[in-house]
Amino acid sequence: MPIYSSDSDNETMPQTKLFGRQRSIRSVLGGGQVADVLLWENKKVSAALSVGMTVLWLLFEVAEYNFVTLLCHISIAAMLIIFIWFTTADFFNWNPPRIPGSILDKSTFNEFAFTFHQRSNQALSKFIDIARGKEPALFFMAIFFLLMLSVIGNYFTFLNFLYICFVCLQTLPFLHNKFEDEVEMYAGKLIRQVKKMFRRFDSSVLNKIPRGPVKEKKLR
C-alpha cells in the first residue's frame, strides 16, 4: 500500500488550485464568447439567456405547457406581430422593419460546439481514469457522489434537473471567479479533511484486508 505523509505535513502544504488546475477559470471554460456568457461579462446575453430559460421552465414545469402547443402558439404570435408590423409600415409609408436572418452567427455556434466537445472528452477521460482506480480517494468519492445523486434524482424530473444544471452553469463559475480566494481556501480545507478521512479508512480497514499471494503466469 502507498505510504502517506502525516496530517501535520499536509496542513503545511502550499495552497494549490481547486482540482489541481493551473489555469484561470476563464481558460478552463474555453475563453471567448462562451466564457463571457458563463462569467456574466456579456451581461445582456447572460441575463437574456437566464430569463429565457427561467420562462421556459415556468411554462413547462409550473404551468405544464405542452412543447408542441407552446411552439405553435409562439409561431402564431410571431407571424401576427410580423404581419401587423409590415402592414402598418406599408400603410404609413414607413421604412420596413429589419429582421435579422440569423439569431446566432456561425462563429459563436462553432465555438460553443467546440468547447462542449472538448470538455466532454476531458470529462470522459477523467471518468475512465477514476474508474481504473488510479486515484483511490476520488474513486470512493465519485461512487458516494453518484449514489447521493441517484437518490436525489428520484425527487426531480428531467426538466428540473436540466434547469438546475443550467442555473449552476450560470452562477457557480461567476461566483468562483468573483470570490476565487475564499472558495479556494475553504475548498482546500474540505479536500484536506476528506483526504485525512480516507487515509484513516485506508490504514484501519483496507490495509487489514487479507490478500493472497500473487501467482506469476507461467510462460508457455
Element holding 142 (H helix, E strand)? helix 136-153
pLDDT category at 54 given cuts 50, 70, 90 is very high
- The answer to whether 130 and 142 are in contact (CB under 8 A) is yes
Quick: pLDDT tens for 18-39. Answer: 545 566 777 777 677 778 888 8
The CA distance from 52 to 58, in Å, is: 10
- Which cell is 204 given? 484501519
What does DSSP assign to residue 132? T
Contact 164, 156 (CB under 8 A): yes
Cβ-in-10-Å burial (0-12, 13-18, 19+) of 124 comes to exposed
Which grid coordinates belong to 207? 490495509
Q: 71 pLDDT band (50/70/90 cuts)?
A: confident
Q: Quick one: cell of 3?
A: 505510504
Average pLDDT across the chain, whole number:
75
